[in-house]
Structure 1
Amino acid sequence: MDPVTTTYRTPRSPEPQASPPKPRLIATDLDGTLLRNDKTVSARTIAALTAAEDAGIEVFFVTGRPARWMDVVAAHTARHGVAICANGAAVYDLHRDLLLAAYPLAVRDALSVVAELRAAAPGTAFAVERTRGFHYEPGYTAFFAEPDSVSAPIEELLAWATDQPVLKLLAKHPTADPDAFLATARRAAGGHAEFTRSSPSALLEISGAGVSKATTLARCCAERGISADEVVAFGDMPNDLAMLSWAGTSYAVANAHPDVLAATTHRTAANDDDGVALAIERVIAGG
């Protein structure tokens, strides 16, 4: 019998995989993400932010907060001092207390949102965040009202201080489920503005159409020649989703909203357990 011969082919080598680009920018939310529940920044987190900058990685705070509430992190706003506030509606130089850019909600759109949301969710009360202050309706429970805050019907508030752009309209409902309220608002008035939320209560944050943490972060990165693939982002609530989806690498802290956990590629520990710091340490180490 003739010997059986078998032809063996040398396996093809797998195509080399391109290494992910080295991170050049870290973008992190504050409340529920970087900050602990007592609104402090831990020593470990401060050390991690400093180490990132020492490694040549810029750090951007990207938050729903107005600039005047950034004092808790003002000393740690990176060497450039730039922060994206009000869910992308404003860019501030916190070192100089200077508004660098604003992407406001037009008053006509705000009035349309008010009318349509009142019809869709009776009992909704409104407040407005302008570049230099916060004002609210009498029916809006304002836990963070300030000495110069004005209380009046929202139509009056929107007609007043027109030299100050509207960064956010806020809508609060006393009994609605937060996620259901968000869905209702988007159906009713989504053609006029962007709706999101970051509070555990039925409190919506309403920005100009096309304005989000992602759009403004993308602008800031483009100015610096940084691509999305070079950005690592951290968040915990629905107002972070656009940013997390845009960034090349996204992390949800363990305490994040279910939608954020589902949308992100990586997990880290909860905000009270220094989750952002842990992840930054790994990023710097190349892990």
Structure 2
Amino acid sequence: MAAPPAYALIATDLDGTLLRGDDTVSDRSLAALRRAARAGARHLVVTGRPAPRVRPLLESLGCTGLAVCGQGAQVYDAAAGRLLWSVRLEREPAETALGKIEAEVGQVYAAVDQDGVDGLTLIEPGYRMPHPTLPAVRVGRRDDLWRRPISKVLLRHPTLCDDELAAVARSVVGSLATVTMSGPGTVELQPCGVTKATGLALAAGHLGIAPGRALAFGDMPNDIPMFDWAAHGVAMADAHPELKAVADEVTTTNEDDGVAVVLERLFPAG
């Protein structure tokens, strides 16, 4: 079998991929990332979490470079503590998209991630955070979600599963927003045309790294654009079937150090 290409960029999703269920990164995964870094590869976090929710994790990983946040709507410079690039989801298309979805399925519950490095996650009455460790501020009514510019809207339905809600949203939203599904209980609306791939391409271009030298890891349908962009996509063992269908290979789960398993093979100890 031919030797694998020399990957210069390692793009990892966080939840369900690099992170374990307790929001930590295993010592094995950290060691594998450090070994890849010694070989000259750059590590980029590419996550649906907004920049303010990623900053503590970047510190724990020792990341001082770039990170792609907010499903690609933000490119964050960890060393400078600022956004190099961000795209907002304007209130009018967001509200129109919500109205179209609710016309099809009845009431949904919404939350928003505010734009900026200090933006909050606001949740309306009835919305339940899918990831309880992430901080959020409950507001009194939907109008309060639009206090400041936002980067995305998060949706939940009282009875529909994520796949059903995402399918309906895609069928009616059109060019108002991009619909993604990034984890259990996490269907999102983000600026039209924005995906993890758009943010990753910007960050990689800033680093001077072409897609042909990129390796990507993920577990959910929102990682599909990233897999399409990168030379090699690796899905976790318990990844969503849509992502597995386009992956170049499948590794073990996040709890079983799936990222490290692949990196140890591609960047063996010298």
TM-score in same-fold range (> 0.5): yes
Letter in 2 for 1:208: P
**Counterparts of residues 203-242 of structure 1 (less than 5 Å):** 203-242=186-225
Matched, 1:154 2:142: yes
Q: Which residue matches 1:72? A: 57
Q: Tell me if 1:86 matches 2:73.
A: no
Find 1:49's aligned residue among 33, 36, 39.
33
* 1:92 shift after superposition: 1.4
**Structure-1-length-normalised TM-score:** 0.85
| Between structures 1 and 2, the one with greater helix share | 2
Asked if the contact 1:60/1:77 (under 8 Å) is kept, the reply is no
Aligned partner of 1:128 in structure 2 is 112
Contact map agreement 1:65 1:85 (CA 8 A) in 2: yes
Match of 1:173 among 157, 168, 171: 157
Write the mapping of 1:1-287 to structure 2, written as runs, cut at 5 A: 21-70=5-54, 71-78=56-63, 80-131=64-115, 132-142=119-129, 143=132, 146=135, 149-158=137-146, 160-161=147-148, 165-201=149-185, 203-285=186-268
TM-score (norm 2): 0.90
Describe the shift of the 1:255–1:112 C-alpha distance in structure 2 as closer, same or farther (beyond 3 A). same
Gap runs ≥5 in structure 2:
none
SS of structure 2 residue aligned to 1:120: helix
Q: Distance in 2 between matches of 1:266 and 1:58?
A: 21
Identical counterparts, % of pairs: 39
For structure 1, list consecutive stretches of 5 or more residues without a partner in the other structure. Answer: 1-17
User: What is the CA–CA distance in structure 2 between the aligned matches of 1:42 and 1:212, rounded to whole Å?
Assistant: 28
Q: Which amino acid aligns with 2:71?
A: N
SS of structure 2 residue aligned to 1:285: coil
Give the equivalent residue in structure 2 for 1:7.
none
| Letter paired with 1:231 | A
AA aligned to 2:9 is: L
Query: Contact 2:114–2:120 (CA<8 Å) still a contact in 1?
Result: yes
What do you get for the CA RMSD once the two structures are aligned? 2.0
The residue type equivalent to 1:136 in the other structure is I
State the number of aligned residues.
262
Q: Is the 8 A contact 2:29 2:260 kept in 1?
A: yes
Shift of residue 32 of structure 1? 0.5
Q: Tell me the SS of whatever aligns to 2:140.
A: coil
Query: Cα–Cα, structure 1 residues 231 and 145, in superposed 2: closer, same or farther, change >3 Å?
Result: closer
Give distance in 2, aligned partners of 1:199 and 1:251: 17
CA contact (8 A) 2:235 2:250 kept: yes
Kindly name which structure, 1 or 2, has the bigger radius of gyration based on alpha carbons: 1
Alignment check: 8 A CA contact 1:77 1:83 kept? no
Greater alpha carbon shift after TM alignment, 229-238 vs 131-140: 131-140
Aligned equivalents of 1:135, 1:206: Cα separation in 2: 15
Deviation at 1:37, TM superposition (A): 1.8
Q: Residues 145 and 56 of structure 1: is their aligned pair in 2 closer, same or farther, counting only changes over 3 Å?
A: closer
